[in-house]
Amino acid sequence: MTTTITRRQEFNTQDITDIDYDSTFVNLERGSIVKGIVVKIDSKEALIDVGGKSEGILPYKEIGSGNESINEAIQMGQELELYVFREANEDGQVTLSKRRVDQAKGWINAQEDFSNDKIVKAKVINAVRSGVLAEIHNIRGFIPASHLRTDSEELKTLEGNTLPVKIIDINPQKNKLILSHRKALEDERSTLRAEIVSRLEEGNVITGRIVRLVDFGAFVDLGGIDGLLPISEISWKRISHPNEVLKAGEEVTVKVFKIDSELNRVSLSLKRMKDDPWEAIASSFSEGDKVTGVVTKLAPFGVFVEIAEGVEALLPTNETGEENVKLEESFPVGRELETTIKKFNPAERKISLTMKEYVPEPEAPAESAEEAKEEA
């Protein structure tokens, strides 16, 4: 009789004992990274086949940044690398996150960009009080208003825009990513800046657009570089902030009054586009003259009065002629006053007024010729 040997009989039992069955199961513990295939998508979540007859749920909020629809973020049949952040529920399904894997990779890419001082593109997500939130490599960073080339009042207009930025501070452990739009532009324009500065001379009159107002002045786009218009060069009048005179986005014609060729910086002046009003009044007024002016500003020590265009004089509190005077009540801004010039020093840009009866100070007597000889 012929003996028949089946395939099972031919299989070496030693082969079975060598198989590591544990390795055939997918590790679905919290914190694990797994690969899976998208098998179903609806409006709120996606169903993922992670192997080993296991399925996982990928909620919409864990797919991406939330700035795109679920169908834009993933597709049917797509293989994804996912993070297990909640172990199997009573139905045997684990909860997965693509966003957390993308963020982990994003921090690695951002660290490389920072180390290489690289310019990257950032999408502005949202404007906040002190700057904007922007996204690079699927992680969110912050661009402070001082590192934007836009006035703080225009931050909302940046939402949805893509800006070149450089990373100036990064700390993945603290989820900290600080970006700078201005530094990226400075790098991009460094060659152009040198070319433009080399063509400028002090005294040149040029037209530019105001791109940002700050406490100390305004930045003016000169066609590729930003020049600084200091607050002291905006107006011959005293102003507390540039926004009293200027608006972001408006065109201004200014004069170049200082150039730093080594640092490629240009300082501008708006007030020098007009004659110095203090020079014009030097021969127009003298001590004892009665003048009419308008109250422009109040200070703890007195009232500022504009007696000519661009010329403010001080009426000290003790020269108002009133005791226990309340300046805000007696001298509101805009009130017209008739006063007398008590002290006049146009060289130092100082004029002191009085509303009391003016009594000129006696002049010092001239020395006699004999006294002069004796002193000599």
Closest CA to 353 of 280, 301, 311, 290: 290
101 is written with which tokens?
Answer: 């894997």
In a domain, 113, yes or no: yes
Domain boundary residue among 97, 116, 142?
Answer: 97
Tell me what percent of the residues of the chain surpass a pLDDT of 70.
85
In a domain, 177, yes or no: yes
Domain boundary residue among 81, 97, 113?
Answer: 97
297 and 266 co-located in one domain: no
Average pLDDT, the chain: 83
CATH number for the domain spanning 52: value is 2.40.50.140
Q: Are 283 and 251 in contact (CB under 8 A)?
A: no
In a domain, 376, yes or no: no
154 is written with which tokens?
Answer: 């225009």
Q: Among 8-12, 270-274, 290-294, which stretch is predicted with the lowest mean pLDDT?
A: 8-12
148 and 199 co-located in one domain: no
Q: Are 335 and 320 in contact (CB under 8 A)?
A: no
Nearest-angstrom CA–CA distance, 376 and 368:
12
Give the confidence band of 60 by pLDDT, cuts at 50, 70, 90: confident
pLDDT confidence of residue 11: 36
Neighbours of 133 (CB within 10 A): 17
pLDDT confidence of residue 273: 92
Closest CA to 243 of 171, 154, 305: 154
| HEC-encoded secondary structure of 162-193 | EEEEEEEEEEHHHCEEEEEHHHHHHHHCHHHH
In a domain, 309, yes or no: yes
In a domain, 47, yes or no: yes
256 is written with which tokens?
Answer: 């170049």
Q: Are 174 and 107 in contact (CB under 8 A)?
A: no
Neighbours of 158 (CB within 10 A): 20
283 and 340 co-located in one domain: yes
Measured in whole angstroms, the distance separating CA 33 from the mean position of its chain's CA atoms is 38
Residue 321 pLDDT exceeds 50: yes
In a domain, 12, yes or no: no
pLDDT confidence of residue 143: 95
Sign of the alpha-carbon dihedral angle for 61, 64, 65, 68: negative
Domain boundary residue among 76, 97, 118?
Answer: 97
In a domain, 122, yes or no: yes
Number of domains in the chain: 4
80 and 118 co-located in one domain: no
More confident residue, 174 or 152: 174
Tell me what percent of the residues of the chain surpass a pLDDT of 90.
34
In a domain, 27, yes or no: no
Helix (H, G, I), strand (E, B) or coil at 84: strand
Give the confidence band of 359 by pLDDT, cuts at 50, 70, 90: low
More confident residue, 18 or 30: 30
Find the domain containing 217 and state its range. Answer: 191-273
pLDDT confidence of residue 104: 87
